Structure 1
């Protein structure tokens, strides 16, 4: 399927991507996503109406909120209403605390957050869109300390050096673990693999570089992607659409409180 640029007048709010503290959030039209698999846990919230989640081996589910585990292949089918996607950095909280907030946990994808009505009401009542409304309700104001300190340190190292080609062997040595033990602990405590988390960090960095004026090709290179096609393939696998489709419309990116209105670059061809 060839993804189209975002419509500019699907709802009252402009499509927006927020990046902060390792988290990312999106609010806007449903994006007509293909099947994809995110690198970190994703909380989906239908701000205006329910949506359908489709995944292999499971019956389609209609819901107003869903928590989709990292590396779970799925498709979100929604109409013209607004969607909120909140991507959770695993260093902020243990996966158990997130899934424990969902009422229906009978399948790998959990449904119906216990406070979904309050979440929607709080978002719609806010003077301006603010993903902190979602973060605070999902994660609380204080981080929990159940993640192994060595794994948390490894995540900080990856976030501080996103463009470097840091290997699991190098980071394992830095936190005084054998590579095999490190990879096992990372998967247990992060809820995703080392490789997929490193990819997530690079993707967030590329988005930040793009918001600061880099074209997509330069942003991908700065973030450590081997080539434009590597970035393009990773983006579509992770989010279910092309980077161009997400960023070519009147979307905006907000990084650590600084807003950037995003428009197509013409200085270099963007990877698709």
Structure 2
């Protein structure tokens, strides 16, 4: 994990239909997978960039999958979009560096290899979003321990609340509420990496109850958090290394 971003490398889990808060680059490390979305043909691929808020189900033929969640307030999402060779803005397919991304998948536990892989998948570029929205997103990540309202951030940007709520998705591709939820999920991961139990981590990250966290997690990732931990996943916070 880095500020606003995360990578999963591990078993292909039986994910239910879900809708992410940020863009996700999915890689089938051993074989193709399919992406099912309403109103679209089923797509088979080794790599796919799935847009925020797109309800989809991913069915893996592969034993292992890699999911890279890209922070929409950085330039990496746009950089990754430009490297998809087919598909559209909702579902990009076939990353230009697909073979290298599969061959050089991050080694479990290695922050350095994950960082190099991220630079290949979505190299950083000059930030092209409104600086006010970028700063608001950074503040959400920094102050995740409390509920920061849209009104508060809009005032800090010198904008009306309605204008702020219009600009936020226009520049990030996701809504203010969905991004705030994403920052809380990352905070749960950070606390779990510190060996906090899941219930305490969810409460400290701003979720009203363990069930609220579990339901939100299922909607965002397509499985219960307990199933993910039962798979033996180790969480590493790259910002702490």
TM-score by length of 2: 0.93
Q: CA deviation at 1:128?
A: 5.4
Displacement of 1:143 in angstroms is 3.8
Once residues 221 and 124 of structure 1 are traced to their aligned partners in structure 2, the CA distance between those partners, rounded to angstroms, is 31
8 Å contact 1:46–1:84 — kept in the other structure?
Answer: yes
The Cα of 1:250 is off from its aligned counterpart by 2.1
SS in 1 for 2:105: helix
TM-score by length of 1: 0.83
Q: Mapping of 1:179-194 within 5 angstroms? A: 179-194=161-176
2:64 is the alignment partner of 1:82: yes
Q: Is the Cα contact below 8 Å between 1:29 and 1:83 reproduced in 2?
A: yes
The residue that corresponds to 2:14 in the other structure is: 32
More helix by share: 2
For residue 41 of structure 1, report the CA deviation from its aligned partner.
Answer: 0.2
Once the 2 structures are TM-superposed, how far is the Cα of residue 134 of structure 1 from its aligned partner? 3.0
Task: Please state if 1:66 is matched with 2:44.
Answer: no
The superposition leaves residues 159-218 of structure 1 with CA deviations (integer Å, 9 ceiling, x where unpaired) of 111121111001111111111111111101111000000000000001111121221111
* In structure 2, distance between residues paired with 1:217 and 1:24: 21
- CA contact under 8 A between 2:34 and 2:58: conserved in structure 1? yes
Conserved? CA contact 2:9–2:108, under 8 Å: no
How many angstroms apart in 2 are the aligned matches of 1:124 and 1:242? 24
Greater mean deviation of Cα atoms: 70-79 or 123-132:
123-132
Work out the CA distance in 2 between the residues paired with 1:147 and 1:56: 30
Could you say what secondary structure the match of 2:213 adopts?
A: helix
Residue in structure 1 matched with residue 146 of structure 2 by the alignment: 164
User: Which residue does 1:223 correspond to in 2?
Assistant: 205
Aligned pair in 2 of structure 1 residues 255, 186: CA closer, same or farther (>3 Å)? same
Q: Over aligned residues, Cα RMSD in angstroms?
A: 2.1
Distance in 2 between residues matched to 1:104 and 1:24, nearest whole Å: 24
Unaligned runs of 5+ in 1: 1-18, 260-272
Task: Give the SS at the match of 2:184.
Answer: helix
Correspondence for 2:191: 209
8 A contact 2:188–2:205 mirrored in 1: yes
CA shift in 2, pair 1:26/1:93, >3 Å: same
Q: Deviations over 1:118-161 (max 9, x none)?
A: 21122289995832233101332x44220111001101110111
3-state secondary structure, aligned to 2:200? helix
Q: Distance in 1 between matches of 2:225 and 2:50?
A: 21
8 Å contact from structure 1 (residues 27, 82) kept in 2: yes
User: Does 1:109 pair with 2:86?
Assistant: no
Gapped runs of 5+ residues in structure 2?
A: none
Q: Counterpart of 2:120?
A: 137
Greater Cα radius of gyration, structure 1 or 2: 1
Cα separation, 2, equivalents of 1:217 and 1:150? 34
Structure 1's 127 and 199: CA in aligned 2 closer, same or farther, altered over 3 A?
closer
Q: Does 1:254 align with 2:236?
A: yes
